[in-house]
């Protein structure tokens, strides 16, 4: 996928953009960047410490209008616990964002490279930027969150520390980007799902993607028959993720993303695989996301 122009491709006006949106992490996190791309720059976000908190708050109409949650990364793969959280919740997927992750070296205004003695960030962000960081004799300090590192840098006004975080974090905490895009792997994309309560979800016009979960009886060749039926219906299976069925002995359910041309095509395929599965759950029917640069 090719990144699109972030200014031109923000989805606006947005039928889902009323009320606060729960995110995992602090303001300035990549979750907030993704929320801005989907809902617009003025979206109110509700920071959550954990993904479990994100789901809980997204479900509560008194606290939020929904949430946005990371589900997979092009380098690290699927975030498996989040599939389980989604499965147990009554939230619907109404959209998605593919965010190209940009890690940046942030400092307080006026600080230069020669002033820096240590760099703070989440362990994963530090790992993603090691090729750049190891060119310098800096102490690397691991923290719980990239955006929190940026916030602390701003609060302490340190002239000898830097943080690795998003461009949005630099904007929010009045920091300078001393070195942009310092991550080694340039094709680092995180996929986020946009979530709404079932009672608030509306039909998405122009939908061309569906996320589902199904279980089979695990008889010989049954999964192959399901996949063949999907292919015969002209639908692209863009993702298939197996997960153990809790309480079973090595039996699995399957999360699948289906890309289709029209709703009738999807309905026909879902009908065809219903006889081959024990159960099917539709998480959401929505529009395919584009890759946007964070």
- Domain positions in the chain are 21-101+188-203, 104-179, 209-286
Q: Check pLDDT > 50 for residue 288.
A: yes
Q: Check pLDDT > 90 for residue 246.
A: no
Rounded average pLDDT over 93-117 = 97
Instruction: Give the confidence band of 18 by pLDDT, cuts at 50, 70, 90.
Output: low
Question: How far is Cα of residue 278 from the mean position of the Cα atoms in its chain?
Answer: 29
Residues 6 or more apart from 38 whose CB is under 8 A from it? 11, 14, 16, 68, 95, 97, 192, 194
Rounded average pLDDT over 165-175 = 97
What pLDDT shows up at residue 47?
A: 96
Rounded average pLDDT over 88-96 = 95
What pLDDT shows up at residue 258?
A: 98
Nearest alpha carbon to residue 103 among 20, 191, 28: 28
Average pLDDT of the residues of the chain: 92
Q: What percent of the chain has pLDDT over 90?
A: 85
Q: Check pLDDT > 70 for residue 137.
A: yes
CATH of 21-101+188-203, one of 3.40.190.10, 2.60.40.720, 3.30.9.100, 3.30.365.10: 3.40.190.10
Distance CA 250, CA 276 (A): 20
Distance CA 203, CA 240 (A): 24
**CATH class assigned to 209-286:** alpha beta
Fold classification of 104-179 is: D-Maltodextrin-Binding Protein; domain 2 (3.40.190)
What confidence tens digit (pLDDT) does each residue in 48-85 have? 999 999 999 999 999 999 999 999 999 889 999 999 99
Do the domains spanning 21-101+188-203 and 104-179 agree at the CATH topology level?
Answer: yes
What pLDDT shows up at residue 293?
A: 87
Could you check whether the bond before residue 13 is cis, i.e. omega within 30 degrees of 0?
A: yes
Distance CA 145, CA 151 (A): 10
What pLDDT shows up at residue 19?
A: 73
Q: Check pLDDT > 80 for residue 9.
A: no
Q: Check pLDDT > 70 for residue 1.
A: no
Q: Check pLDDT > 70 for residue 14.
A: no
Contact 97, 68 (CB under 8 A): yes
What pLDDT shows up at residue 294?
A: 78
């Amino acid at each position: 996928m090719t990144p699109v122009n972030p200014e031109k491709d923000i989805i606006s006006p947005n039928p889902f953009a009323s009320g606060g949106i729960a995110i995992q992490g602090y303001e300035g996190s990549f979750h907030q960047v993704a929320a801005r791309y989907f809902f617009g720059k003025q979206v109110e976000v509700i920071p959550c410490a954990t993904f479990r908190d994100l789901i809980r708050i997204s479900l509560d109409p008194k606290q939020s209008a929904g949430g946005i949650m990371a589900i997979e990364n092009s380098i690290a793969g699927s975030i498996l616990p989040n599939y389980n959280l989604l499965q147990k919740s009554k939230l619907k997927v109404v959209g998605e964002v593919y965010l190209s992750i940009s890690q940046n070296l942030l400092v307080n205004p006026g600080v230069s490279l020669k002033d820096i003695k240590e760099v703070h960030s989440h362990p994963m962000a530090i790992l993603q930027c090691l090729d750049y960081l190891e060119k310098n004799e800096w102490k690397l300090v691991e923290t719980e969150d990239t955006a929190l590192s940026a916030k602390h840098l701003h609060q302490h006004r340190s002239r000898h520390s830097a943080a690795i975080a998003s461009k949005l974090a630099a904007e929010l905490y009045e920091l300078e980007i001393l070195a942009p895009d310092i991550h080694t792997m340039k094709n680092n994309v995180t996929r986020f799902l946009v979530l709404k309560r079932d009672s608030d979800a509306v039909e998405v016009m122009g939908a061309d993607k569906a996320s589902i979960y199904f279980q089979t009886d695990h008889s010989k060749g049954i999964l192959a028959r399901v996949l063949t039926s999907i292919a015969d219906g002209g639908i692209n299976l863009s993702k298939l993720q197996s997960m153990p069925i809790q309480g079973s002995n090595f039996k699995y359910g399957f999360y699948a993303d289906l890309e289709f041309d029209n709703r009738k095509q999807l309905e026909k395929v879902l009908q065809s695989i219903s006889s081959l599965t024990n159960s099917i759950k539709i998480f959401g029917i929505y529009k395919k996301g584009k890759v946007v640069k964070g």
